[in-house]
Amino acid sequence: MQSESLPIELKYWPIKRYMDIYRHSIDEMEEFWENEARKLEWFRTWDRVLDWDPPFAKWFPGGMLNASYLCVDRHLKNWRRNKVAIYWEGENGEERALSYSQLYREVNQLASALKKLGVKDGDRVALYLPMIPELPIAMLATARIGAIHTVIFSGFSSMALADRVNDTEAKVIITADGGYRRGKIIRLKEIVDEALKKTPSVEKVIVVKRTGHEINMQEGRDIWYHEIIRDAETEVPPLPIESTHPLYILYTSGTTGKPKGIVHSTGGYLVFIHSMYKWVFDIQEESVYWCTADVGWVTGHSSIVYAPLMHGASIVVYEGAPDYPKPDRWWEIIEKYKVTIFYTSPTAIRMFMKYGEEWPKKHDLSSLTILGSVGEPINPEAWLWYFKHIGGERCPIVDTWWQTETGGIMISPAPGIGLVPLKPGSATFPLPGIDADVVDEKGNPATPGVRGYLVIKKPWPGMLMTLYKDPERYKQTYWSRFPNMYYTGDYCMKDEEGYFWLLGRADEVLKIAGHRLGTTELESSVVSHPAIAEAAVIGKPHEIKGETIVVFAILREGYSPSDELKKELRGHLRKTVGPVATPEEIYFVSKLPKTRSGKIMRRVLKALASGKPVGDTTTLEDEASVEEIKRAYEEFKKIIK
């Protein structure tokens, strides 16, 4: 782990200057957040800043506002009405550009159509859509009339869709006939039709015509999107919404157990992400903002829709795979739309490292001013490659930590306030108003340099209100581990200067001969070897050691699989982590099983390593990765026989 600051000329603030601002925000927390709330337009001012009945928080109770108004209407009062709000690019090369005035019209038309279908304040609407403009439009339209949206990632299976629709008792589903992914049509309406066999609450299905392939349309239930908005009103007054009214429910996807329905408020959430995105990304009038996440995840909610549009930025929405049809598709898009702020995942960066720097070199990336990292800890090697080959050694990297539950970024560099010296691999410090710390098993502050548990000690406006229909699970999951502290479930370490180093999920831990090793730490060590572009580490049951380490690695260009390289990797892990980290099995593969949001599906790898069924793989980006790993295991079995 790198402990020295990055020796590159950027405009840094002294750490003390930032910490003075931060400490004031913690000491005068309610005053601080009240001042931030006044930066939004409210229909009615709040009665109090906070009602705190641990662990339940109500932020700005009595205040009235509307998310759709803040993201669209208020920009029509000035020159932004003709500014591009959304640049959309389909995987097949289709393009659309919507100005804020056009976005206003389309949001109002859908809001009008939903009202005519009987959708009212408090009703739930499920959105199962590809990455097309109608997805943010549908979110804003539901918010406009006080309905609660639940966006369901379009890579989920019919069973996963049905589970979420049934839990929310959604009365309307908005979907599409299909979407494009790696040149293929993903038949979304067919998946919805299968789910509808088990979803009695659904009364209507609105279908966007995206691919144009033939689908089943059930009379009386299914309605074409373009037909329902044709005669809709173009002006629907935004409903004043109480600050504590839920804006959305978003389900976390786990490998076991019932998914958790995270409930986010309207007022607190919007105040928080409005401030946080200004601090972290320093959004300006000329900003063209591109977050590569899918809107089906919280990163898409906050980073693609609500925060950038509240700031009046131009956003980029891209439908397809990052390296389709060629590995420079993303760099082509950055050049085309003159993207200034680019926000993506370490997994994606490591994938592009594998392809080599010649692909970004083909494009003019000089428009970029800030780079972001999200979704998992970023290893120093990926950080430096990103900084050099994408940012041209001139763009600070905001390495951000947050969760579905937190609503927005909690720990990150903050160029919009003042950039502190950066350390590759560290998310630096908590943002203002976030009382974060690292504690040991007993809840006491951890010693600097020693791994502990990341906790939040005070409420913050973006926090989840509860788990939908399950307040007891909310208390048990997040507030029972340490008294009066929000338990994040993540390992973390603070160094001597107070920098935070995120070390992955506390439940992604291997126990080898009594030693606990985090998968993130092991993977970071593997990819620090010059031959490795990307890696996934899992544990395999062992009758003596408890677990042994299995490594799946993707090689960089110019390297070939060999027993000698495996030996070298084992030695590298022994040296960088310790003898206990010596892997029993190493597999060189060309692909890892990932979701379409870029997360490695370790449960699939564990199942393959244990000879068990892999289960549902509908969220996989490319199922060929599973077949390749199966073949590798078969070859390994032959060798050991």
**Preceding amide of 583 cis, omega within 30:** no
Average pLDDT over residues 51-68: 98
pLDDT at 23: 97
Q: Are strands 452-456 and 486-494 parallel, antiparallel or unpaired?
A: antiparallel
Residues 6+ apart with CB under 8 A from 580: 512, 513, 515, 517
- pLDDT over 80 at 513, yes or no: no
d(CA 396, CA 416): 12
Mean pLDDT of 30-56: 98
Q: Residue 622 has what pLDDT?
A: 61
pLDDT computed for residue 191 by the predictor: 94
As a whole number of angstroms, the distance between CA 457 and CA 96 comes to 45
Q: Treating both helix axes as pointing N-terminal to C-terminal, what angle do 602-610 and 624-640 enclose, rounded to 10 degrees?
A: 30
φ/ψ of residue 272, rounded to 5: -65, -50
Domain total of the chain:
1
**Mean residue pLDDT across the chain:** 91
Res 525: pLDDT: 85
Q: Among the listed ranges 143-152, 245-254, 600-609, which one has the minimum average pLDDT value?
A: 600-609
Q: How far apart are CA 199 and CA 162, in angstroms?
A: 6
- C-beta neighbour count of 564 within 10 angstroms: 9
Q: Of 239-243, 373-377, 442-446, 613-617, which gets the smallest average pLDDT?
A: 613-617
Residue 187 has pLDDT above 80, yes or no: yes
Least confident of 187-201, 484-498, 620-634: 620-634
Residue 637 has pLDDT above 60, yes or no: no
pLDDT at 3: 44
Closest CA to 151 of 357, 306, 24, 378: 306
Helix/strand/coil for 545:
coil
Half-sphere exposure of 45 (CA within 13 A, CB side): 6
Query: Tokens 């979407």 label which residue?
Result: 179
**Residue 26, phi then psi, degrees to nearest 5:** -80, -45
Cβ within 8 Å of residue 227, ≥6 positions away = none
pLDDT confidence of residue 641: 39
- DSSP letter at 367 equals T
Helix or strand holding residue 114 (H, E):
helix 100-116
User: Whose structure tokens read 């579905």?
Assistant: 404
Output the pLDDT for position 255.
Answer: 37
**φ, ψ of residue 181 in degrees (nearest 5):** -150, 115
CATH number for the domain spanning 544: value is 3.30.300.30
Task: Determine, yes or no, domain membership for 364.
Answer: no
Q: From residue 258, how far is each of 97, 251, 287, 618 by CA, in Å?
A: 39, 10, 40, 18
By three-state DSSP, how is residue 65 classified? strand
Q: Which residues pair with 95 in a beta bridge?
A: 89
Q: At residue 602, what is the residue type?
A: R
- What is the rounded (10 degree) CA torsion for 473, 538, 504, 557? -140
- Percent of the chain exceeding pLDDT 70 equals 91
Residue 547: the pLDDT is 80
SS3 content of the chain, % helix, strand, coil (to 5): 35, 25, 45
In order of 205, 283, 287, 451, the CA distances from 340 in angstroms are: 38, 9, 6, 36
Please report whether residue 532 resides in a domain.
yes
Binning pLDDT at 50, 70 and 90, where does residue 1 land?
A: very low
Q: Is 527 a member of any domain?
A: yes
Gap between the Cα atoms of 537 and 581, Å rounded: 11
Residue ranges of E strands in 60-191 = 64-65, 84-89, 95-99, 124-128, 148-151, 172-176, 179-181, 184-186
Residue 8's pLDDT band (cuts 50, 70, 90): low
Give the residue with greater pLDDT, 574 vs 69.
Answer: 69
Q: How many CA atoms lie within 13 A of 345 on its CB side?
A: 21
Domain containing residue 538: 508-640
Rg (CA), the chain: 24
Residue ranges of the alpha helices (H) in 459-535? 471-479, 519-527
pLDDT in tens, 347-383: 899 889 989 999 999 999 999 999 999 988 888 889 9
- Note whether 423 and 6 are within 8 A (CB): yes
As a whole number of angstroms, the distance between CA 381 and CA 572 comes to 15
Would the pLDDT of 617 be above 70? no
- Asked whether 39 and 416 are in contact (CB, 8 A), the reply is no
Which residue bears the tokens 């009945």? 53
Q: How many CB atoms lie within 10 A of CB 44?
A: 12
Q: Is 80 exceeded by the pLDDT of residue 422?
A: yes
Rounded to the nearest 5°, which phi and psi values hold at 349? -60, -45
Please report the pLDDT score of residue 256 as a whole number.
Answer: 39
**DSSP letter for each residue of 376-412:** SPPPHHHHHHIIIIITTTTS-EEE-B--TTT-S--B-
Give yes or no for residue 448 having a pLDDT over 90: yes
* CA–CA separation, 397 and 291 (whole Å): 14
Q: How many residues would you count in the chain?
A: 641
Give which of 57, 173, 74 is closest to 123, Cα–Cα: 173
Report residue 148 as tokens.
Answer: 């609660």
**Could you tell me whether strands 314-318 and 84-89 are parallel, antiparallel, or unpaired per DSSP bridges?**
parallel
| The pair of three-digit structure tokens given for residue 479, joined into one six-digit string | 């507030």
Residue percentage of the chain with pLDDT more than 90? 76
* 432 belongs to a structural domain: no
Rounded mean pLDDT, 459-470: 97
| Closest by Cα among 365, 386, 359, 361 to 374 | 386
Q: Which residue has tokens 């199942």?
A: 607
626 and 614 in contact (C-beta within 8 Å)?
yes
Task: Report the interhelical angle of 100-116 vs 134-144 (nearest 10°).
Answer: 60
pLDDT tens-digit readout, 290-340: 999 999 989 999 999 999 999 999 999 999 999 999 999 999 999 999 999
**Could you tell me if residue 257 is inside a domain?**
no
The pLDDT, as a whole number, for residue 506 is 79
Q: Is residue 518 assigned to a domain?
A: yes
pLDDT(526) > 60: yes
Report the b/e string of 71-82 with b at 16+ CB within 10 A: bbbebeeeebbe
Whole-number Å distance between alpha carbons of 369 and 470: 43
Determine phi and psi for 315, rounding to 5 degrees: -110, 150
pLDDT at 36 over 80: yes
Q: 317 pairs with which residues across the strands? A: 88
Helix (H, G, I), strand (E, B) or coil at 117: coil
Rounded Cα distance, 205 and 331, in Å? 37
The pTM score is: 0.86
Using H for helix, E for strand and C for coil, what is the string for 288-352? Answer: EEEECCCCCCHHHHHHHHHHHHHCCCEEEEECCCCCCCCCCHHHHHHHHHCCCEEEECHHHHHHH
